[in-house]
A = this chain, B = another copy of it.
Amino acid sequence: MAKELTSRETDYAKWYNDLVLKADLAENSGVRGCMVIKPYGYSIWEKIQSELDRKFKETGHVNAYFPLFIPKSYLSKEAAHVEGFAKECAVVTHYRLKNSPDNKGVIVDEDARLEEELIVRPTSETIIWDTYRNWIQSYRDLPLLINQWANVVRWEMRTRLFLRTAEFLWQEGHTAHASRAEAISEAELMLDIYTDFVENFMAIPVIRGVKSANERFAGAEETYCIEAMMQDGKALQAGTSHFLGQNFAKAFDVKFANKEGREEYVWATSWGVSTRLIGALIMTHSDDNGLVLPPKLAPIQVVIVPIYRSSDEFDQVNAVARGIQENLRKAGVTVKYDNRDTHKPGWKFNEYELKGVPIRIAIGPKDLENNQVEISRRDTLQKFTRSQIGLTDHILDLLDDIQKNIFQKAKSFRDSMISSVDTWEDFTQTLDSKGGFVYAHWDGTPETEEKIKELTKATIRCIPLGNKPEDGKCILTGKPSKRRVLFARAY
């Protein structure tokens, strides 16, 4: 069968890539490192966007749009920032093409060279803080709570669909505040919003924490993050929220007059999630039969497939199926009725399994006789029959149950993948044999962190929020440590 997937056990990376392609989520384009997000994949992104956008607006944020291009000199203004991004910048140098002398195509017109090169934004702190300088004079202009939905470009040598692409889609929030405390509260609020969204909407359990200095966003004083666990034991950073201190305000000279009339630099945050979340979604829930989507995120929540031989049978089944569809629709369920006669029911069953539709309802002549339908749950692959009476309520309950079940399953797995170790031997053995999160003592120095990464490819994913102080010894150096941190190999 053409749509069969490589199994996860055989080759997890290949399973992932197969699934993205065969479920029609995305594909590589003719442009190195850039993907095409296909309609079905994009409809998942639209659900992510609309729910997050609602949450942002509920908490007082507004959307705006800033330029795609950043003058090269802007990038240089914040030292750590340029250091972090310089190596992956797409650079625009010219603004015109002309016919080639041999008339066989077009070439870059060397007379149209830009005075200053433009960088395609890898993130927008610099252009936005250059703009904020004119928007902020007094404490009355604060806070500014602005978000942007945009494409960004970070030149990557090794790309993987959704997980790491040269261009990706994301939202980036950029806020300005009158005090350190208020900016930190904002960064924490956004971490809460991301947590709530990723856990309760995408059904992906996360660990909340802060990054070590090495892993911090280039230009941040503190990076808050949520970390998820994939089925192959590798971690994935699902969202970040940065407290930027006054770094960008100082770099771009953004001051405000406080209530006492004194000038101060403005305090900043930025925060973002990207199309990478779709990669996390796939690798958290899906199985060897295809996608498994949480009902809240599924572009199609229920699919109805009619079973019939004759056109008489079709007419009878059709009438009942349409009634069920209509009732579900009225109850707010997104339901597709697939009555195409170009495909057999078996083909359709496979197709919607592959695409992760949470509930499938099949109706045939026998079901009509018994006033029932056949229901199939995508998460457990269980099939059962159910009376047509009270069906809508049953489906609503079932959607709820699937949402919870998917989260619980992922959470049980994630919890089983957290190991606490005390020695270097246990540390490396756990990483190699089991993977997952490894909770271990670290002496707190960037050098040790770097060394551990070199030796094991594991990085500190985060210092979990609220983890208790505990005396111990660094797994590598044996030096004293005050608390455990969370290591993992990661996407």
Residues of chain A whose beta carbon lies under 8 Å from any beta carbon of chain B: 27, 29-31, 34-39, 42-43, 45-46, 62-76, 82, 86-99, 105-106, 108, 117-120, 127, 130-131, 134, 140, 146, 150-151, 153, 155, 167, 169, 342
Contacts and interface: CB of A to CB of B under 8 A. Distances in A.
Contacts of A72: 97, 105-106, 108
Given A90-B92, A91-B108, A95-B155, A67 B36 contact: yes
Given A91-B93, A140-B342, A69 B131 contact: no
B96 A93 contact: no
A75 B89 contact: no
Given A65-B42, A68-B34, A96 B105 contact: no
Nearest to A165: B67
Nearest to A24: B135
Contact of A95 (B89, B150, B167): B89
A96 B92 contact: no
Contacts of A130: 29-30
A93 B64 CA distance: 29
A465 to B, nearest CB: 31
9 tightest CB-CB pairs across the interface, nearest first? A34-B67, A39-B62, A37-B65, A86-B97, A76-B105, A95-B155, A91-B94, A31-B67, A93-B93
A270 B29 CA distance: 20
Contact of A108 (B30, B69, B117, B167): B117
Contacts of A38: 64
Contact of A153 (B31, B68, B89, B105): B68
The interface centre, meaning the residue of A63, A95, A127, A134 with most chain B CB atoms within 10 A of its CB, is A95
The interface centre, meaning the residue of A42, A71, A88, A97 with most chain B CB atoms within 10 A of its CB, is A97
Contact of A69 (B31, B43, B94, B98): B31
A159 to B, nearest CB: 12
Contact of A131 (B29, B42, B46): B29
A89 B200 CA distance: 44
A438 to B, nearest CB: 34
A146 B39 contact: yes
Nearest to A83: B99
Nearest to A50: B50
A56 to B, nearest CB: 12
A408 to B, nearest CB: 32
Given A42-B64, A63-B42, A92-B90, A71 B31 contact: yes
Given A88-B95, A95-B90, A167 B68 contact: yes
Contacts of A74: 30
A108 B87 contact: no
Contacts of A127: 29-31
23 contacts: A27-B131, A29-B66, A29-B127, A30-B127, A31-B71, A34-B69, A35-B67, A39-B63, A42-B63, A42-B65, A65-B169, A68-B153, A68-B167, A73-B105, A75-B106, A76-B106, A87-B97, A88-B95, A91-B93, A91-B95, A92-B92, A93-B94, A108-B117
Contact of A151 (B68, B71, B93, B131): B68
Contacts of A87: 96-98
A75 B91 contact: no
A75 to B, nearest CB: 7
A166 to B, nearest CB: 8
A72 B97 CA distance: 9
Given A86-B97, A106-B82, A39 B64 contact: yes
A63 B46 contact: yes
A41 to B, nearest CB: 8
A131 B39 contact: no
A53 B68 CA distance: 23
Contacts of A75: 97, 106
A95 B64 CA distance: 27
